[in-house]
Amino acid sequence: MDSAWAETAASGPHKPKLSSVEHLLRRTTYGATPALIAEVERKGIHAWLNEQLHPSHVKDSAMDHLLTRWPSQKLNTWQVRKKYSFGAWDVMADLIDTHIARAIWSKRQLLEVMVDFWSNHLNVTCPSDDVWDNRHVFDREVIRKHAFGRFSDMLRATGRAPAMLQYLGNAESSGDAPNENWGRELLELHTVGLAAKYSQKDVHNSALILSGLSVDDQGGEFEYKPWMHYVGHVKVMGFHSANSSATKGESVAMAYLTYLAHHPDTAKHIATKLAVRFVSDHPPHSLITKLAATYRRHGTAIRPVLHELFTSKEFWHSVDAKVRTPYEDFIATLRVLRIGPPKKGTSDVRALQYMAGSVGQPPLGWYEPNGYPDVAAAWSSTSSTLAKWNTHMGLAGQWYPSGLHYTKLTHLIPSPPPKTYGGLVDGLAASMSVPKLNAVQRGAIAEFLDHKAGDVLNLGDAAYGWRLPYVVALILDSSHQAQR
């Protein structure tokens, strides 16, 4: 194990190079900070990542305490129905709050990255009318519970999740009137993918197998309704069943989901999505093959696949091969500026939810079943760039939300203070874990300050005062900060 890390990280598991640590943290967290870099250097890449792959080993008491401000997230569906008026969006809004808060402030960073990954893979748009009372349960009992477990378990849990069953119409699907929405998306998006070349007949039979997986009309919990289940022989790709008894239809559906989870095309599909998320928009075929083989060898377990990925040469050779999405850039900005949670209440975190929407990517909010895209081309527009830059300036200026805990920007200035304008730019970038800017970028920021990079900088200059937020924002606007 240690030799693998030594080979891939280039400097061994215990004393990795700073660049290796920063690369790891840019992919496995929502943004490196100097404190986190120091922690990984102290523990070693191997030990730190092993902790992250087992989030229960990571003490996160401050986050646990913060989450008590959103008590709705512990409620079951029937409790939500009892406490809130029908169709209220309050609990879904609270879920988005906690999704953002965890991304910024949780020490279990890889868990939060993977929760976001699986939330996109098994997308149930939030907020959405049909899931007003159960979307948070889907997050808690399906996504978070199985984020590092077996995909087969996650998929079966999805098959009993009212949120998915209602979102894609399976709750009303019957043998007489099958709704093919989930039957199709299960194949296209959640398991084997389009490359499997399944047929329309497969889609139809998929819907028939899933018929009867429904929701209790009174309590909103999962209910298998045998009177709605299709009875008769079914076949989808290599799966087939006599399906001769309505009372046993649920077990047929669960066997079908298990079959799909273990299918070689599902292994390849999930391996590809993980490689795209953590390596590059066009990952090497060699890596996908290795990840898919690990997935199948370990019975759909995700943790071994991630271990294989993070120890691969393809991962370590992929520096600067990914671009942050607007949401990732937004969260990374909050982290590098050391912006802490409000002392009380949740309104300022709710404001961050609105800000995430203003940059074009409210978390959990993609309106189609396929989830947010994870490639640079989807986010490379002038409007997206301008929105990110405006957010950088607002947060660097500490203008809004006013109730968050802001660290003074002067804390980003290294000690002793830089003697030149170029030195200030480099020092601030290092303090924000932004890779060193090139000469052109450094010179452009110095020119913004009406100086050249080599000009002498005095403590009384405006760059240390009212212009400091603008310098910080410009550094955050750089292409280096945009890299994941």
3-state SS of 171-203 is: HHCCCCCCCCHHHHHHHHHHCCCHHHCCCHHHH
Q: Which two structure tokens, joined as six digits, stand for 166?
A: 């209602």
CB-CB contact of 109 with 75 (8 Å):
no
Cβ atoms within 10 Å, residue 261: 23
Cα 459 from chain centroid (whole Å): 41
| Alpha-carbon dihedral 318, 123, 64, 46, rounded to 10 degrees | -20
What pLDDT is recorded for position 104? 98
CB-CB contact of 182 with 170 (8 Å):
yes
Q: Which residue has the tokens 């879920």?
A: 95
Q: Which two structure tokens, joined as six digits, stand for 393?
A: 């300036």
What pLDDT is recorded for position 290? 98
Q: Which two structure tokens, joined as six digits, stand for 208?
A: 């028939």
pLDDT tens digits for the chain (484 residues)?
Answer: 343 443 444 433 333 344 789 999 999 999 998 899 999 999 999 999 999 999 999 999 999 999 999 999 999 999 999 999 999 999 999 999 999 999 999 999 999 999 999 999 999 999 999 999 999 999 999 999 999 999 999 999 999 999 999 999 999 999 999 999 999 999 999 999 999 999 999 999 999 999 999 999 989 999 999 999 999 999 999 999 999 999 999 999 999 999 999 999 999 999 999 999 999 999 999 999 999 999 999 999 999 999 999 999 999 999 989 999 999 999 999 999 999 999 999 999 999 999 999 999 999 999 999 999 999 999 988 888 899 999 999 999 999 999 999 999 999 998 899 999 999 999 999 898 888 889 999 999 999 999 999 999 998 899 999 999 999 999 999 876 677 8
Instruction: Give 449's DSSP letter.
Output: T
CA torsion sign for 176, 181, 187, 188 is: positive
**How far apart are the C-alpha atoms of 284 and 275, rounded to whole Å?**
8
Q: Which two structure tokens, joined as six digits, stand for 401?
A: 């939300």
CB-CB contact of 192 with 237 (8 Å):
yes
Which helix (H) or strand (E) segment holds residue 294: the answer is: helix 285-297
Mark out the alpha helices in 84-214 (DSSP H runs).
90-105, 109-121, 135-138, 145-146, 151-159, 162-167, 181-185, 200-210
What pLDDT is recorded for position 478? 85
**How far apart are the C-alpha atoms of 89 and 325, rounded to whole Å?**
26
Cβ atoms within 10 Å, residue 29: 23
What pLDDT is recorded for position 480? 67
What pLDDT is recorded for position 4? 41
Q: Which two structure tokens, joined as six digits, stand for 169?
A: 């119409």
pTM attached to this predicted model: 0.94
Compute the chain's Rg from CA coordinates: 24
